[in-house]
Structure 1
């Protein structure tokens, strides 16, 4: 016990550590609070090791290294850039849509300056934040009007609250989906003040089911696009166009929660998802979709459709609760402007560019990454392999996109250990593991990120 007490008494004081010349550069670039926290944390960790009876030596050099490591960790942002090597284009955990630099620049400009967010420059008086998006989104989609809220769940809740509060909304049982984070469409709908009226069965819902459910208290018909799963086999669903004809005949608005928000037909690339324009052409009165999925913009909920219904939503009290900020609106406006030219959108919207990437180009891209590390690593084999990418983000769940990846087979550590080492890199590299190999899919990796990956791999596996 006396040995433990002696070690505890010999622990260096906080001021003694801070005054060390070896810490001068770290202290100069950090706040005093962070330095103090790092020093106290390093000393306390050593103290706990001594109390636990571990063979802990009090060495100033190791203490200083621990302090430096803690300072770097405390200075690091929680929300950080990562490299997406998973091949999942719209990876919800990694922030979904990657933005075009033009979009990012528009967001930065809005952040750094005052703006006419709610000021009408022509009239010199208060304006509406909706004016920046409404006409542009309506022009591109063919709708009468449009508005933006903070996400698609909010769009659905606002729509139902404004158009069907205290009334029944008829929806198919087969479309009561659960979205990310265990949030369920029925629960979101119920928060709006509308009453859910389920019709049909899990696998079959006919137009007659909707018609038979319409009563005196019916407020709307709702169709939900099942973008994150598919029911196959003995199935049937009512076409949106038939639902629209029924709703209009009975004087009811037909609402379409399509989720993914595709604006361009991508069927030539195997993406069999409906477009917003197709939903409107089929007769939907209101279409709701996300901004950060197939649209390729910032997170938002976008509502397009008949002007009379959109105006009711804009004036509803909930609209203020779920309104978008200036940064989202700036990014979304620039996103829509890119869509004014279809060919430009296919090249400049990263989501669309990744989906439409040519197989030959992907192979050449993978070979360029391989050339940076091949023959320069020790204790790890790297090879080019054919794999499959996914769109992700609850879109096109049955679609596999042929791709190329680098497969790493480490010999001096496990694949799980390699995955963690890459995840712990200064710029975290997120990979996937398949058949005891670590895979980096080049479809979701930018050319500018190759040097980061090469540096990380060569640091982990220096050539012997």
Structure 2
């Protein structure tokens, strides 16, 4: 340990007189500047004590403190660039809001609004009235309700219709969703008793009828949106369940999960059940997410027969699960786009990215390659076809052919490049495969190309 070096560490007052610090303290909170300086001094003190730092000067400490300060000023929840090609990326915030949704959020966030005020009547109103009419019009249901996510929606439905009663569900549908949340656990918390019928891969109509009794509250179907069971399988279709429910006067509930409101089959995708189809087939209550295939904010949407929705509105749990003004605004703006399917596909980023044609993506990829090649020389770029994913527990077996920019560097491994991009000021999340870094343009915005270029330029500078 160099005791003289340790003694030469500057005092706080000395660093505060540095011109760089004086300048930055004018635009930053003083407490954060001092915190950053202390952490920088501590870093160098520890380095000296461990004989890892053998020389220093005040400018180095100041520069390191400014790096720390920059990180402190950043929000913990912040923007990242998604170059993975997974459209509904659960870890990256799922669906991106449309321009219309963003404008709606800003409008109610910075102004007073009629969240629970009936302007025409001049008295207290219901927050659910703002979107119920839209939900009814789009899905064909009698009524609608929105809570904070789909797990909450399932819990509310079961607590309202099946408290202290039995909910019959196929074993093959007892799914685990993100974050280790499991359907059986959600059901238990709702005070509904789970009755598992059939087997993992095969469930028949008689499995339900054998278990129906005077204490049966609902017949539950859970759409396995995040996995598929292939091969020797069988499940009871909705029409049969609905018929069974009517015969025994038991409501049929479907957790459709991903919330598809567009028939993707006509665009060349494997058929995915839509909310409208379920309502048309006579399902009493359907729940789905707002931030998956629907392309809106996080929400749990419930549509179905008015008598059941009205009961849920009166359930005291509903207040604990309700959504706020900004979510309502974003959801209303998103749903309005669904009044015209063409408008929805054009304006809702999730739908637009999923349905982007190959030629558009090809041109986009070559545009990115030209931009990157023009300013960097250490990386070798090429454009190739690549398969993207829908993601977010939706269309689990579906891949979408598109294009990506793939690149390598003789002086860095793909893993080192991935780490450097991920630690960029605006993190860039990429994929690495077959020794190449992959930038899938399906999930990239054109305005993000410059950020990617700047990041690679900075990486290249450190190599020289």
* TM-score by shorter chain over 0.5: yes
| Deviation by residue 1:177-200 (Cα, 9 ceiling, x = unmatched) | 000011111001100000000000
Measured in 2, the distance between the counterparts of 1:273 and 1:225 equals 10
- 1:94 CA displacement: 0.5
CA positional deviation for 1:271: 4.1
Report Cα offsets for 1:370-392 as digits up to 9, x if no partner.
11122542221110111100000
Q: CA deviation at 1:233?
A: 0.4
Distance in 1, Cα, partners of 2:386 & 2:167: 43
Q: Distance in 1 between matches of 2:26 and 2:141?
A: 57
Shift of residue 55, structure 1, vs aligned partner: 3.4
Tell me which residue corresponds to 1:90. Answer: 88
| Candidates 122, 131, 134, aligned match of 1:133 | 131
1:191 alignment counterpart: 189
CA apart distance, 1:27: 1.0
TM-score for the superposition, normalised by structure 1: 0.98
CA contact (8 A) 1:261 1:275 kept: yes
Q: Distance in 1 between matches of 2:259 and 2:353?
A: 16
1:8 shift after superposition: 2.5
Distance of 1:55 and 1:323 partners within structure 2: 55
146, 168, 171: which one aligns with 1:170: 168
> Does the aligned pair in 2 maintain the 1:103–1:332 contact within 8 Å?
yes
* 1:15-414 map, 5 Å: 15-267=13-265, 268-414=267-413
Cα drift, residue 32 of structure 1: 1.1
Alpha-carbon separation, structure 2, partners of 1:291 and 1:116: 22
**Contact 1:269–1:355, Cα closer than 8 Å, also in 2:** no
After the TM superposition, which of the residue ranges 302-311 and 120-129 deviates more from structure 2? 120-129
Q: Distance in 2 between matches of 1:459 and 1:133?
A: 47
Once residues 56 and 340 of structure 1 are traced to their aligned partners in structure 2, the CA distance between those partners, rounded to angstroms, is 68
- 1:447 equivalent in structure 2: 446
Q: How many correspondences in the alignment?
A: 462
Q: Name the CA distance, whole Å, in 1 between partners of 2:374 and 2:116.
A: 59
Report the CA distance between 1:160 and its aligned residue. 0.2
Distance in 1, Cα, partners of 2:271 & 2:325? 33
CA contact under 8 A between 1:42 and 1:63: conserved in structure 2? yes
For residues 53-75 of structure 1, the C-alpha deviation after alignment (integer angstroms, 9 at most, x for no partner) is 32332311110111110110100
CA deviation map 1:146-187 (0-9, x unaligned)? 010000000000000011000000000000000001111100
TM-score by length of 2: 0.98
1:126-152, Cα deviation, whole Å (9 max, x unpaired): 111111111111111100000100000
> After superposition, what is the alpha-carbon deviation per residue over 1:306-331, rounded to whole angstroms, capped at 9, x for unaligned?
00000000100110010000010000
Answer whether contact 2:44 2:53 (CA < 8 A) is retained. no
Distance, in Å, in 2 between the alignment partners of 1:128 and 1:230 is 40
Any idea what SS the aligned residue of 1:388 has? strand
Structure 1 distance, partners of 2:375, 2:117, is 59
Contact 1:255 1:285 in 2 (8 A): yes
| Structure 1 counterpart of 2:429 | 430
Deviations 1:408-438 (A, max 9, x none): 1111111111111111112111100110100
* Mapped partners of 1:376, 1:390: distance in 2: 30
Residue pair 1:83, 1:430 contacting (<8 A) in 2 also: yes
Q: In structure 2, what is the Cα distance between the partners aligned to 1:373 and 1:136?
A: 45
Q: Is the 8 A contact 2:84 2:439 kept in 1?
A: yes
Secondary structure in 2 matching 1:374 = helix
Q: How much has 1:206 moved relative to structure 2?
A: 0.7
Q: What CA RMSD, in Å, does the superposition of the two structures yield over aligned residues?
A: 1.2
1:10 & 1:458 partners in 2: Cα distance? Answer: 36
Structure 2: how far apart are the matches of 1:88 and 1:271?
A: 17
Aligned-partner SS, 2:394: coil
Structure 1, 264-273 or 27-36: larger mean CA deviation = 264-273
- In structure 2, stretches of 5+ residues that fail to align are none
